Structures are given as C-alpha cells and as structure tokens.
Amino acid sequence: MKALLLESIHPLAESILRDAGIEVDVRTGALDESELIDALRGVDLVGIRSKTEITPAVLDKATDLKAIGAFCIGTNQIALGDAAGKGVVAFNAPFSNTRSVVELAIAEIIMMARRLTEKDSSLHDGVWDKNAKGSHEIRGRRLGIVGYGNIGSQLSVVAEMLGLQVYFYDTDDKLAMGNAHRCDSLDELLGIAEVVTLHVDGRSGNAGFFGAEQFAKMRPRSLFLNLSRGFVVDYESLRDNLRSGHIAGAAVDVFPSEPKKRGDAFTSPLQGIPNVILTPHIGGSTEEAQEDIGRFVATKLRDYVDRGTTTLSVNLPSLTLEARPGGRRISHLHVNTPGVLAKVNSIFAAHGVNIEGQLLNTRGENGYVVTDVAELPDAAVEELRAMPETIRLRVID
C-alpha cells in the first residue's frame, strides 16, 4: 500500500505507517485540486491538515484511495458525503490539540487585557511607556464561550481556575463544567460577557455566523477572540468596531483565506490595528499536540488497513475490531438498505463458507459489515463485489 502525507505532518505518522509496511511519500506544503489528483494516482491513504481540500472531483479521480486522515480537528476541507459514497473512510483528531488551543486562548486574553502587544511595540520602537491605563487583571472578568465542545469546555475549566466567571452558549444541550453558567441564547451571552471567544465547528451553516449585528450587541470595550474557523466572522465589521473603540482588543488565529505554505504573502483588514493579535493558524501547533495528532490519526489509518477498524470515523459506520491471528476478514461497505446482511450470508452459505465472527453497523445511507472466515473461495468474493449494494469490498488476510 501507498500513503501520501501533506502539509508537514509530524514524522511520527510516517514512522507508524512505514512500520506497518506502507510506502510513504511525504511533502511539506498543501496541493491544489489538479496537483492533488495527479499525486493520488495509485495512492491508498492520504494525510492532510487544513489547507488541502479533498473535493468531489479529487475523489472521482482517486480510484485507489481507501482512507483519508485529517491531522487536525476540522474536516470541512473534505467532501465527507462523497467520500462515504465511494467507500473512502475519513478520520480526524478531535482531542489531541485541545489543550494547545486552550492555552493560546488564555495567553491571548491576558495579553489583550494587559495591552502587552502595544507595550512590546513601544519598547521595540525605543519608547518607554510605563502606565496602567487600559490595563486590567482577568480575575473576576466575565468570559463568554461560544461553542462548548472539547475546546470550549476545557477552556471553561482552565479559565475558572484563573478566577474568570464563565458563561457559555451552544446550540446543543451541553453539561456545564464547574461553575460555568449556560446561556439560553447568543444574545444573552453577548450582553453579559466582557470577553467573547468563538469555538464553533466548521459546518457550512456557520459561515458569516458572527458579524455587525453580533458585534453591536457586545458590551462596550470588550475583547473578542476567534480560534475556530475564519469564515465564521465578518472581519471588516470587526475592524470597524476596533477602530471605533467599541471592541477594545481582538485575537484572531484563523482567516477566510489562508496561504497554502509557510512564507507566502498574507493580508487582512485587521493588520496594523492596536491591541490586535494575529497568529497564523497555530492554535494546535505545539510540538506536543502535533506529535499526538500524528500518532492518533496514523494509528487510525493503520488499523483500518490492517483490521478494518473504523472507530471514530467521521463519515462511515464505526466498528472496533480486534486483530485476527488467522483466516480471512471480509470488509464490506455497502448502501444501507434492508436485507443486505441476509444477501451477504446467503452468498457465504452457497459457497460453504463457515462464519467465525461477524459485526454490522450502519450510519445514514451507509452500512458496514465485517466477517471473519477460515477460508474464502474467490468466487464468493466476486459475488459479494458484484452485489448492487456494494460500495467497496476488501479482503484482509
């Protein structure tokens, strides 16, 4: 098998895949659609981060592709439905860089509250500007967290330990951590919080989620952070609110359009505004987080190849499978319609195949059944592959 790893994925991922007998091609930058189509010829596994897009056109051409590893949290750069329809499983790393993002958010809240970037710039310019004006402690301040998932909830705990009063809003019903207060609406949170931080996911419905209307409802002289997705915020509106003084400071780590590789030119309407911290999408970019992401996602890819395991897949039914010491394992991804399992087993019975173990799970339009057998005639394999419901069939020896 062959794997392609893009966007400077941690070397541990390459090591894990090579140790599993997989040939690995490593590249540092992202690829555009046409480049990716060319690069995926004959490739079984691909690893990406946030810049490379796996589009329907890429999936149409990548006929050998079996699995996608998103070495990050977000998966909106992958056409997940199209991938599922072609039997291409996708994995991500939903937990590995949580702490790194939380620590950056806390650091930036303190930096903005103390206006440290401005003090730093003054000294670099040779100006000694020692005064307390506009500089505040964060203890006792009201932090509003929009999106209370893995990152938002951990930020809630750490912030409370530092003395912040935590309020949160999420469209799903989430359990409050510690003494955090749940808000019934975004408007309620914006009217309370002195610091607002976004940690929403990358679903298309969140595009333009936070704009002029929301900034207007924030408390005067409050602070704003976005470490989630660039397209959820209207940055022109944020710029206007910063210049008017309604928003006292902002920290932004993600942008609607980001350069594909290190060293490329970057522009933003937020450049050059005092008390604004701009970082190049490094929320999860610590050595610790990248190593753990490399281990986590590469292990998922390896286990899918070796065992057929799809645990924590983001687009196909989840099955957790043990290693099989002998015999053969049939991995059958199919359209989820009634009677498929009966058809599969009737084919086995017609060829005298004794089933030693079998697991089935479904997810939306897709089903996944894995069957362990001692022996498997080629004719049975061909019949399974020819079933009209079959999306992808693999035999794992």
* Together in a domain, 132 and 197: yes
- Report d(CA 308, CA 285) in Å as an integer: 30
For the chain, the domain total comes to: 3
* Together in a domain, 249 and 184: yes
* Together in a domain, 292 and 384: no
Q: Determine what percent of the chain is predicted with pLDDT higher than 70.
A: 100
The answer to whether residue 281 is catalytic is yes
* Together in a domain, 222 and 122: yes
CATH number of the domain where residue 30 is located: 3.40.50.720
Annotated catalytic residue within 53, 160, 258, 389: 258
Structural domain including 226 reads: 98-278
Q: Name the phi and psi angles at 369, rounded to 5.
A: -120, 135
* Together in a domain, 126 and 145: yes
* Together in a domain, 197 and 87: no
- Report d(CA 121, CA 290) in Å as an integer: 30
Annotated catalytic residue within 281, 307, 332, 334: 281
pLDDT tens digit string along 310-329?
999 999 999 999 988 788 99
* Together in a domain, 267 and 357: no
The answer to whether residue 258 is catalytic is yes
pLDDT tens digit string along 330-389?
999 999 999 999 999 999 999 999 999 999 999 999 999 999 999 999 999 999 999 999
Annotated catalytic residue within 10, 141, 219, 229: 229
- Report d(CA 307, CA 89) in Å as an integer: 13
* Together in a domain, 124 and 88: no
* Together in a domain, 309 and 323: no
Residue 22 identity (one-letter amino acid) = I
Q: Which residues contact 47 (CB under 8 A, 6 or more apart)?
A: 3, 4, 5, 6, 9, 13, 68, 69, 71, 297, 298, 301
* Together in a domain, 77 and 126: no
* Together in a domain, 310 and 372: no
Supply the pLDDT for residue 52.
Answer: 95
| pLDDT band (50, 70, 90) for residue 151 | very high
Side-chain-facing half-sphere of 182: CA atoms under 13 Å: 10
- Exposure pattern of 108-119 as b/e (b: 16+ CB <10 Å)? bbebbbbbbbbb
Give yes or no for residue 88 having a pLDDT over 80.
yes
* Together in a domain, 109 and 247: yes
DSSP characters for 271-285?
Answer: TT-TTEEE-SS-TT-
The answer to whether residue 239 is catalytic is no
Supply the pLDDT for residue 340.
Answer: 97
